[in-house]
Structure 1
């Protein structure tokens, strides 16, 4: 892929990202609360079916769908959970054990992460944040490539199911996909879960 093609894909992704994030930002508080409860119910049912050893969640920031109710349901069911931590730009994420109520530390970009003292673990089901998605498993993140690198590393050594968490308003007809983009196995919105392939 040449530089011009890469630049045009990056520009298209940036425009689609802005479109989807604008739609997300326009959602009212009542829709957001109902969506959080809906993904909690569906997400807990998905985890019960898949029976993963460890589930990765994320701390919602900047208008992302609230994972609090889902985390609470998983904790009630005794599911082992973790959160991602950014170690270094350009590197895969590292996951540290976490449960609702555990201490978190403030990081850049408004992120909250477990402290370095929390045990490092390897999830086999990841609920993934995103800016936009399509119905074929394409995902547009926030531009850092962290989840692409992480999923590539995890999938090279074992199963790693990636389920995007988003509002239905973040769906797009078609997301441009590059060779390094790792596909989602499904997306969970307030309308339920859609799985791919």
Structure 2
């Protein structure tokens, strides 16, 4: 029997800790991240892709609204197919969203497709080396690898502090994050 926990076991444990947080703790964490802002400069027109939170994910909406006030152009992901890169469509906080193929809210297919300069990434768990555990479909790993071939795109994970783990078991297709922001810390992995 292996003494090293699998990604699945680590994911399950981290998600259980995330689920145990109260609604008040979740809202306070989202506001703390929004108040601190991003560790990268946002110039008018910078394209920032967020996400529509599912389950108990930290809500990026307060942060995204602050970024829009700084002149950022916002976008949200749309899932095309498993194993394929996400696409990003223009979004403003007052836009209506529709249910996508996996039941996740997405902008209308009529919204302009954008290529993000900064991508806010949901996650199940992370470590202090910038590695993340997602939900197993690989959407963000494929997307980050694809985007980084074309341009310098900054990937910033958003998480609750309770989602930090000692080490994520890495696989060849895994792509590291540049930063992870929690309600307590901003971790910078670019120099590691």
* TM-score, reference length from structure 1: 0.90
Correspondence for 1:193: 186
- Give yes or no for contact 1:187–1:193 (8 Å, CA) kept in 2: yes
Correspondence for 2:154: 161
Matched, 1:100 2:84: no
Question: How many Å apart are 1:50 and its aligned residue?
Answer: 5.0
CA distance in structure 2 between the partners assigned to 1:67 and 1:158 by the alignment:
24
1:57-81: per-residue Cα shift (whole Å, max 9, x none)?
Answer: 0011101111121122112222111
Correspondence for 2:130: 137
> In structure 1, which of residues 111, 125, 140 is the aligned counterpart of residue 118 of structure 2?
125
Q: CA RMSD in A?
A: 1.9
Correspondence for 1:183: 176
Structure number with higher helix proportion: 1
Question: How many Å apart are 1:32 and its aligned residue?
Answer: 1.0
- DSSP-derived class of the 2:6 partner: helix
Map 1:39-78 to 2 at 5 A.
39-43=33-37, 45-47=38-40, 49=41, 51=43, 53-78=46-71
Runs of 4+ aligned residues of structure 1 deviating over 3 Å after TM superposition are none
CA distance in structure 2 between the partners assigned to 1:22 and 1:153 by the alignment:
31
CA distance in structure 2 between the partners assigned to 1:29 and 1:164 by the alignment:
20
CA distance in structure 2 between the partners assigned to 1:85 and 1:186 by the alignment:
23
CA distance in structure 2 between the partners assigned to 1:66 and 1:121 by the alignment:
21
Correspondence for 2:6: 12
1:25-74: per-residue Cα shift (whole Å, max 9, x none)?
Answer: 0011221111010111223x435x25472001001110111112112211
Matched, 1:79 2:76: no
* TM-score, reference length from structure 2: 0.92
Correspondence for 2:105: 112
Unaligned runs of 5+ in 1: 1-8
